């Protein structure tokens, strides 16, 4: 069933697990993610980036997810990831997205607060939840300039949450978007300081490739939503390589056999991430 972040993240926080948010670009991702989550009775967030699903993609994905979500007995959130423009957010909400992230992390604090509050006002009036980001999670994954990591300042969190009324807050504690060049070390002491000053469920971006023990510690320490994209791409690309070999052997091979390795790759990776976030059997 389709729902918002507020219907799942407080439960995750209370019970010490996180809900995985998988970025997708097409229904080739959506179906195996929902199948694996349904099988393991795990809540799931389908997160799409404006660069991947902008324009007609918003209607296309929303149409698919709205139609199929009721077939699964688990909570499904249809979420817009890293939106920087309120116009895109308005279009996503009109299309049926139940949740949006406004990423104002590139702005100075006061401007981030003002813009986030505007989005929250608009979204809450329509029953849609909002995630924001304080600090900056760097990486080349999202295109453009990677920028420098700015860890979240615990001293800014209380004011940010009080003035914006966000439903979830992405924090920067040492992860990056994309593939790591050196093993990260998460700042769990900083996470504890943030948890001490706010009740809002916290979000960690850049989950892919982060050592499992550190991620689990972060989840037990208060992270309620974990974003995963790179690992899904790697899994799907391995499926594409398998599919290429199948087509190489028979160029008119049936499409279900060609696509099977792609679906299987995403399906198995989803299960691994459900394991990692400890959310199996939550529903």
Let me know if 275 is a catalytic residue: no
CB of 203 to Zn ion, least distance (A): 9
In terms of CB distance, is 190 or 205 closer to Zn ion? 205
Q: Show contacts with Zn ion in window 67-106 (CB under 5 A).
A: none
Q: Contact region for Zn ion (CB under 5 A) — 11-19, 64-72, 113-121, 200-208?
A: 200-208
CA angle, residues 92, 98, 100, in degrees to nearest 5: 60
How far apart, in whole angstroms, are the C-alpha atoms of residue 162 and residue 181?
A: 36
- Site membership for Zn ion, residue 205 (CB under 5 A): yes
In terms of CB distance, is 40 or 134 closer to Zn ion? 134
Active-site hit among 23, 81, 103, 187: 81
* Residue whose C-alpha is closest to residue 43's, from 15, 9, 68, 13: 9
Q: Are 31 and 63 in contact (CB under 8 A)?
A: no
Q: What does 180-195 look like in DSSP terms, one character per residue?
A: -SS-----HHHHHHHH
CB of 146 to Zn ion, least distance (A): 13
- Site membership for Zn ion, residue 225 (CB under 5 A): no
In degrees and rounded to multiples of 5, residue 44 shows phi and psi of: -145, 145
Structure tokens at 12: 């995750």
In terms of CB distance, is 108 or 143 closer to Zn ion? 143
CB of 197 to Zn ion, least distance (A): 23
Structure tokens at 237: 């690309």
Q: Contact region for Zn ion (CB under 5 A) — 119-127, 183-191, 201-209, 257-265?
A: 201-209
How far apart, in whole angstroms, are the C-alpha atoms of residue 280 and residue 283?
A: 8
Task: Please list the active-site residues.
Answer: 81
Q: Where on the chain is the footprint of Zn ion (CB under 5 A)?
A: 205
């Amino acid at each position: 069933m389709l729902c918002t972040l507020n219907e799942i993240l407080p439960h995750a926080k209370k019970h010490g697990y996180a809900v995985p948010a998988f970025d997708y670009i097409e229904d080739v991702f959506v179906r195996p993610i929902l199948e694996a989550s349904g099988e393991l009775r795990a809540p799931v967030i389908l997160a799409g980036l404006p660069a991947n699903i902008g324009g007609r993609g918003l209607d296309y994905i929303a149409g698919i997810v709205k139609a199929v979500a009721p077939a699964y007995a688990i909570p499904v959130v249809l979420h817009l990831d890293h939106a920087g423009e309120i116009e895109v957010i308005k279009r996503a909400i009109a299309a049926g997205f139940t949740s949006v992230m406004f990423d104002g992390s590139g702005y100075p604090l006061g401007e981030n607060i003002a813009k986030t509050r505007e989005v929250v006002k608009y979204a809450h009036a329509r029953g849609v939840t909002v995630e924001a980001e304080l600090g900056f999670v760097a990486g080349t994954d999202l295109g453009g300039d990677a920028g420098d990591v700015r860890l979240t300042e615990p001293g800014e969190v209380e004011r940010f949450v009080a003035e914006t009324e966000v439903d979830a807050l992405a924090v920067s504690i040492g992860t990056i978007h994309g593939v790591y060049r050196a093993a990260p070390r998460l700042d769990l002491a900083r996470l504890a300081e943030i948890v001490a000053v706010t009740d809002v469920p916290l979000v960690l971006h850049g989950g892919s490739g982060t050592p499992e023990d550190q991620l689990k510690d972060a989840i037990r320490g208060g992270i309620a939503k974990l974003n995963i994209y790179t690992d899904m791409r790697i899994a799907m690309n391995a499926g594409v390589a398998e599919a290429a070999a199948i087509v190489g052997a028979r160029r008119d091979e049936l499409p279900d056999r060609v696509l099977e390795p792609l679906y299987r790759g995403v399906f198995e990776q989803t299960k691994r991430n459900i394991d990692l976030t400890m959310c199996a059997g939550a529903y």
